[in-house]
């Protein structure tokens, strides 16, 4: 499914490769609601929106229900993020919007950066989720961070930040500043690895003598 119809005049390419009609319909509803419903004019959705909804899924064991509606409804959540960055008037990216989400938690900010770096710098072509891959990733996050076990906001916001950061690469190209920051950090990492290898080499030589 290459594009989806939002209004009579607007078709968009979703952030993921959608294969099921039910998920696509939910995605369409989310985009429309964010652009023209109660969320109209508010701009990007906060990271806490997805965290809150997924924690409710976990609390009520929704991921394990036999009713597929709730899994398809995840399309609505992702569609809300997509619609939040689009202008209701033009259907294009909102002026001055540079991120897929409002990063309202420090760990969401950190995860978002990591997600974007992975999107642009992991080997191979840019990865695009299917709805099944997306649901599986969210199920893993929920399973590993049970609602009643502890206050695990750090992990939740970091995980959702990584996801949203990766998805953002579909609509927001890497900036020059992001590229420069990554090159500097990668250079430091590569230098540390060379130094560690030299230490190991010297240690091996000493053991042989």
Q: What is the pLDDT of residues 47-98, one digit of tens each?
A: 999 999 998 888 888 877 767 888 999 999 999 999 999 999 899 999 999 9
Q: Per-residue pLDDT for 204 more than 70?
A: no
C-alpha distances out from residue 56 to 32, 63, 95, 104, Å: 23, 10, 33, 19
Confidence at residue 122, expressed as pLDDT on a 0 to 100 scale: 86
Q: Is residue 172 predicted with pLDDT exceeding 90?
A: yes
How far apart are the C-alpha atoms of 137 and 198, rounded to whole Å?
38
- Identify the CA nearest to 81 among candidates 58, 67, 97: 97
Distance between CA atoms of 17 and 92, rounded to whole angstroms?
Answer: 20
Percent of the residues in the chain that have a pLDDT greater than 70, as a whole number: 89
- More reliable by pLDDT, 202 or 68: 68
5 DSSP β-pair partners = 11
C-beta separation of 99 from 44 below 8 A: yes
Residue 112, beta-bridge partner list: none
Separation between Cα atoms, residue 110 and residue 83, nearest integer Å? 23
Whole-angstrom distance, CA of residue 117 vs CA of residue 76: 26
pLDDT for residue 165: 97
Q: How many CB atoms lie within 10 A of CB 119?
A: 19
Contact 88, 32 (CB under 8 A): no
Q: What is the rounded distance in angstroms from the CA atom of residue 200 to the CA atom of residue 110?
A: 32
Q: What is the mean pLDDT of the chain?
A: 87
Say whether pLDDT at 24 is over 60: yes
Give me the pLDDT at residue 149, please.
52
Strand-pairing partners, residue 46, are 102
**Which pLDDT does position 164 carry in this prediction?**
97
Residues 162, 114 contacting (CB under 8 angstroms): yes
* pLDDT (mean) for 157-178: 94
pLDDT at 114 over 60: yes
Give 37's pLDDT tier (boundaries 50, 70, 90): confident
Calpha distance 68→75 (Å, rounded): 12
């Amino acid at each position: 499914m290459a594009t989806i119809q939002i209004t009579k005049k607007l078709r968009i390419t979703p952030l993921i490769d959608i294969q099921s009609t039910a998920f696509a319909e939910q995605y369409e509803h989310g985009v429309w609601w964010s652009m023209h419903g109660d969320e109209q004019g508010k701009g990007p959705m906060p990271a806490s929106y997805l965290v809150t909804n997924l924690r409710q899924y976990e609390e009520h064991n929704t991921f394990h229900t036999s009713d597929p509606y709730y899994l398809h409804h995840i399309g609505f959540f992702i569609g809300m993020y997509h619609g939040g960055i689009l202008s209701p008037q033009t259907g294009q990216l909102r002026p001055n919007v540079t991120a897929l989400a409002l990063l309202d938690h420090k760990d969401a900010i950190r995860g978002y950066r990591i997600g974007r770096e992975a999107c642009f710098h992991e080997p191979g072509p840019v990865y695009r989720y299917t709805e099944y891959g997306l649901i599986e990733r969210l199920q893993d996050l929920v399973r590993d961070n049970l609602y009643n076990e502890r206050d695990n906001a750090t992990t939740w916001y970091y995980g959702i930040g990584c996801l949203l950061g990766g998805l953002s690469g579909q609509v927001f190209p890497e900036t020059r500043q992001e590229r420069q920051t990554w090159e500097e950090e990668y250079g430091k990492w590569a230098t540390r690895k060379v130094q560690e290898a030299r230490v190991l080499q010297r240690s091996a030589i000493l053991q042989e003598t």
